[in-house]
Amino acid sequence: MNEIFEYTDFRAFLRDFFAQRKNESSYFSYRNISRKIGIRSSGYLSWIISGKRNLSLKLAPTLAKAIRLSRKESTYFVQMVRYTQSKTLDQKQEAFEKLTALRDPDPTSLGREHYEFYRKWFYTAVREVIGQGGVTNDYETLASRLQPQISPSQAQESLSLLLRLDLIEKAPDGTYRQRDSLLTSGREIPSMAIHAFQAATMDLARESLVTIPKQERDISTVSMNIDEQTLTIIKQKASEFRREIMTLASSCTAPTRAFQFNMQFFPISKHKDQDT
């Protein structure tokens, strides 16, 4: 199995950890570990791993010690528990940043900077503006081209990060250019980074209702009653449409403006058979 620092979900880690240890020793079991942490129920750990029960932050260090994690691994494990069971986006983001710090102490590592890239909306906006051409180290002009406008220091910060991530390059004439026309998150970017980025762009969408003229935006909503089969079909259609939009964008040879395209589709009621 992978080392603990490659996990962000403590349940996934425990699932793989117990599977490996059981293969190595027939004496290793949920029951034995439960006894070590003072839990009588033999099903307690299996309930936690399956997501039926939460692991308390008070008990997490005891469990980490029982499965013989090192001090650093134990700290990381407790933070994973905090991250996995966080109930709000702010709590989850804070916990994820602490996980990242524990996993990789090098602040210039690629993984952490990719997280940072998606954590602030204006990094992607600056990259798209660069795709229009003519961007130099004139930070004030670059900052003024974004909507809403950012500060010159944020513009400079964006260029620095994009260069470090090799997402842009500087041409001989002193202007910047994109290295690739399209950018997607991919599976290597942690979900928390994507969640933070999506939350930020949703905030921008809300602001655009009052700051952007109607003829320059398209925001509509629809509420509906559907079943699970229709939900699956709609999600597939949305995915296909998103790919079509990306293909159209990549075929544009002379872009003049950067846009953010969000698709938001989520339940606004519980399942009719779900307990209240």
pLDDT of 229-262, one tens digit each?
999 999 999 999 999 998 999 888 899 999 999 8
Q: How confident is the model at residue 135 (pLDDT cuts 50, 70, 90)?
A: very high
Of the ranges 16-30, 82-96, 158-172, the best mean pLDDT one: 158-172
Q: What is the per-residue pLDDT for 237?
A: 95
Between 112 and 59, the more confident residue is: 59
Measuring CA to CA, which residue among 97, 103, 53 is closest to residue 77?
103
Task: In whole angstroms, give the CA distance from residue 46 to residue 78.
Answer: 18
Between 197 and 153, the more confident residue is: 153
Distances (CA, A) of 222 to 44, 53, 71, 209: 43, 36, 51, 16
Q: For the chain, give the percent of residues with pLDDT over 90.
A: 45
Task: In whole angstroms, give the CA distance from residue 154 to residue 152.
Answer: 5
Task: In whole angstroms, give the CA distance from residue 134 to residue 166.
Answer: 19
With a cut of 80, say whether residue 188 has pLDDT above it: no
Min mean pLDDT across 94-98, 212-216, 271-275 is at 271-275
* The two structure tokens encoding residue 172: 């001989």
Q: What is the per-residue pLDDT for 60?
A: 94
Query: Would residue 186 be called left, alpha or beta, if left means φ above 0 and alpha means ψ between -120 and 50 degrees?
Result: left
Please say whether the beta carbons of 207 and 148 come within 8 A: yes
Min mean pLDDT across 77-86, 250-259, 265-274 is at 265-274
Residue entry with tokens 């079943």? 227
